[in-house]
A and B are shown apart, each in its own frame.
Chain A
Amino acid sequence: MSAQRLASVTKNGVGAYVLQCRKMVFNYCENWGSNKGMINYLKKDIVEFAKANPQIEVVVEQRPAHHPVIRGEYLNGREKVICVRNMAPFEIKQKVQLLKESSGAKLKNLTKRPVLSTTESVRGIWSPFHTNPHKI
């Protein structure tokens, strides 16, 4: 038995569910015009979002001379960055929702296999030696 196989594999959602997004950083600039929507969002909606999601660390930082950006950090160590330049507050809200609901996994083509399973087949693999003999 290797050490890897002795450790239990977490299946998020089976016992308890843990939100994958752990931190969101909001970068804005006071001067650039593309930040107007972001500044309004930070004034009105962000407190509501932070209160509704106590498990996410919400950080607001000034980043002068840049477009507004939202950075989401996830439990798998990856980061998702969305530039929200020239967006209205409701659009920024949608992007925040998108970041919150994602896991940090890289975007993949998910349509190919609807079910991903690690359980062995319940009925067992077919064997020619264990089926009814052919009758003519």
Chain B
Amino acid sequence: MFAASLVRRVLSTPSTLANAAITRQIPQQSSSFLRFVHTNSVDDATKSAVNKLRDQLRFYAIAEVAGRPLLITKNDLVTVHRLKDVSVGDVLTLDKVREIGSKDYVLRGQPYVKEDLFNIQATVIEQTKSKMISIIKKKRRKNYKRTITHKQTHTVLRISNVDVNKLD
């Protein structure tokens, strides 16, 4: 019983779950070139895989927040460098997700997971500064001493939602 519940299976059928268009070749009688059609429909294999993941209820995601990949779950506090065009209370949707998983299953993107499959939102809580740090440069016996004081600016986000979408 333990072994079965702790087995992790990677759900990656590369052509369907990656962030790439599904291409289909349409034969043309007169022309010699190939025409490609973009389709956004999700096939049954993808649906069953994603629904298996969704049934597990608790998720984590490796999402790129402000350019850095971070492992996040719901209710987390994430501190990043200050985001300039954002005010306190705004809700941000994270779209660059490398991996979204649960206890037994994981969805890995190549390089990112398709955006229709998940919903990750973060609320901007705070735009603060760090504690003051003093950088002291000294060269001894040369009468050289400099002090630089610095307070780094940060934006604090609360991950309000990490969800896998239901595919019908």
Contacts and interface: CB of A to CB of B under 8 A. Distances in A.
A2 interface: no
B65 to A, nearest CB: 8
A111 B126 contact: no
Contacts, number: 108
A7 to B, nearest CB: 16
A65 interface: no
A20 B79 CA distance: 17
Nearest to B90: A17
A98 B74 CA distance: 27
Contacts of A114: 65, 68, 70, 78-80
Interface in A85-101: 98, 100-101
Interface string A97-136: 0101111010111110111111100111000001000000
A87 B79 CA distance: 30
Interface of A: 11-15, 17, 19-20, 98, 100-103, 105, 107-111, 113-119, 122-124, 130
A13 B89 CA distance: 8
Contact of A102 (B73, B122, B126, B157): B126
Contact of A117 (B73, B123, B160): B73
Given A116-B76, A122-B59, A123-B8, A13 B71 contact: no
Contacts of B8: 123
Contacts of A130: 2-3, 6
Contacts of B158: 11-14, 17
B133 interface: yes
A107 B129 contact: yes
A115 B78 contact: yes
A117 to B, nearest CB: 5
- Of the listed residues B71, B78, B126, B152, the one surrounded by the most CB atoms of chain A closer than 10 A to its CB is B126
Interface size class of B (residues with CB under 8 A): 35 or more
Contacts of B59: 122
A111 B73 contact: no
A130 B154 CA distance: 41
Interface string B51-90: 0000000111000010010111111111110000001110
Nearest to A116: B77
A15 B160 CA distance: 7
A111 B125 contact: no
B146 interface: no
A119 B65 CA distance: 19
Given A115-B77, A122-B59, 11 more contacts: A12-B158, A13-B160, A14-B75, A15-B160, A101-B87, A103-B156, A107-B130, A107-B131, A110-B154, A114-B65, A124-B6
Contacts of B123: 13-14, 17
